[in-house]
Structure formats: C-alpha cells, structure tokens
C-alpha cells in the first residue's frame, strides 16, 4: 500500500471511528492489514492536517473543516445549491468533477469560487459539469468527504 492509499485509509478510519491516540490508529491500521509505525502515522496526521476535537469520548482526531465559517449564510447557500444541483461526483488525483442537473454548473461554480475554499486553484464550468482543480490530492480527498456527505 502506498502513502496516498494509507492516508486515504486513515481518513476513512477517522471518519468512522473515534480515535484519540496515534497508538490506537496504528492498531486499527494493523487490524485492517496495514503495518505502519507510530512515526509514520504521526507524519500522516500532520500531512492530513487532522485536528483533535472534543467529543463525548474525550479528544479525538477529526478531519478539519475545509470550508471556513460553516455558520455563515454563503456557506449554507452553497450547501443548499450543491445538494439540489449535484447528481454525482468523480475524482482522479487532484481533480474533482461535479455532474449537475442541466444548467446547474455555472451557478454552483460561482458559489464555490465565492466561498474561497482552501487549496482550490480554479473551477471550469460547462452547462452540467464542473471541473475543480485542487493543489493536492490529500486536500481533494478531504473536500470530497465533506461533499459526499452532503449527497448522502
């Protein structure tokens, strides 16, 4: 398993489980068939910019909120338009493709641009498709996790 695959697995684990120590994360990776050292996991946590947040079970690792100011009106508007417009999401490396209802892409791309989401280099919108170019794959994966939740 390469570094990107390992980091993707770490994101999946953090998303589905309350992990509060690097030791527990190493053990969960091992349970899933991947041997990784604590030092490697520590570097991955730093690279993924995971944060510790307080939960019912104490401080646990979480995926950082990529979109700032979740409570602001423009964020909620983006989320509402996204939910009502996007049909499917595809991705490869640092590229995200959003497939929308006919005519929905330009409006949604405008709101994505307005939100100034960290690490988005740019968007290109057609009538029903948006290409989003990200600075790196890890940030792209984090954003995809948020957006796929919106569609669930």
Give Cβ neighbours of residue 76 (< 8 Å, ≥ 6 apart). none
For residue range 22-44, list pLDDT tens digits in order.
999 999 999 999 999 999 999 99
Say what the pLDDT of residue 65 is: 60
Q: Which CATH class is domain 73-151?
A: alpha beta
Say what the pLDDT of residue 68 is: 47
Instruction: Give the closest residue to 60 by CA, choosing from 70, 68, 50, 69.
Output: 50
Cα–Cα distance measured from residue 141 to residue 134, given in angstroms and rounded to the nearest whole number: 10
Instruction: Give the domain ranges of the chain.
Output: 3-62, 73-151
Longest dimension (CA), the chain: 49
Mean pLDDT of 106-130: 91
pLDDT over 50 at 69, yes or no: no
Cα–Cα distance measured from residue 52 to residue 61, given in angstroms and rounded to the nearest whole number: 4
Instruction: Report the b/e string of 110-120 with b at 16+ CB within 10 A.
Output: ebbeebebbeb
Give Cβ neighbours of residue 18 (< 8 Å, ≥ 6 apart). 55, 57, 60
Q: Which CATH number fits domain 3-62: 3.40.470.10, 3.30.56.10, 1.10.10.10, 3.90.230.10?
A: 1.10.10.10
Place of tokens 């989320």: 79
pLDDT over 50 at 19, yes or no: yes
132 versus 72: which is more confidently predicted? 132
pLDDT over 90 at 105, yes or no: yes
**β-strand partners of 100:** 86
């Amino acid at each position: 398993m390469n570094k990107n695959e390992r980091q993707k697995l770490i994101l999946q684990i953090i998303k589905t489980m309350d992990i509060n120590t690097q030791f527990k994360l190493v053990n969960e990776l091992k349970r899933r068939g991947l041997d990784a050292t604590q030092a490697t996991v520590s570097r991955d946590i730093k690279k993924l910019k995971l944060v510790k947040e307080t939960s019912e079970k104490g401080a646990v690792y979480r995926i950082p909120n990529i979109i700032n100011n979740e409570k602001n009106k423009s964020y909620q508007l983006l989320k509402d338009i996204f939910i009502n417009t996007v049909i499917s999401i595809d991705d490869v490396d640092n590229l995200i493709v959003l497939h929308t209802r006919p005519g929905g892409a330009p409006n949604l791309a405008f709101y994505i641009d307005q939100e100034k989401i960290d690490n988005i280099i740019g968007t290109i919108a057609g009538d029903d498709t948006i290409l989003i170019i990200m600075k790196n794959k890890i940030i792209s994966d984090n954003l995809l996790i948020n957006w796929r939740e919106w569609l669930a």
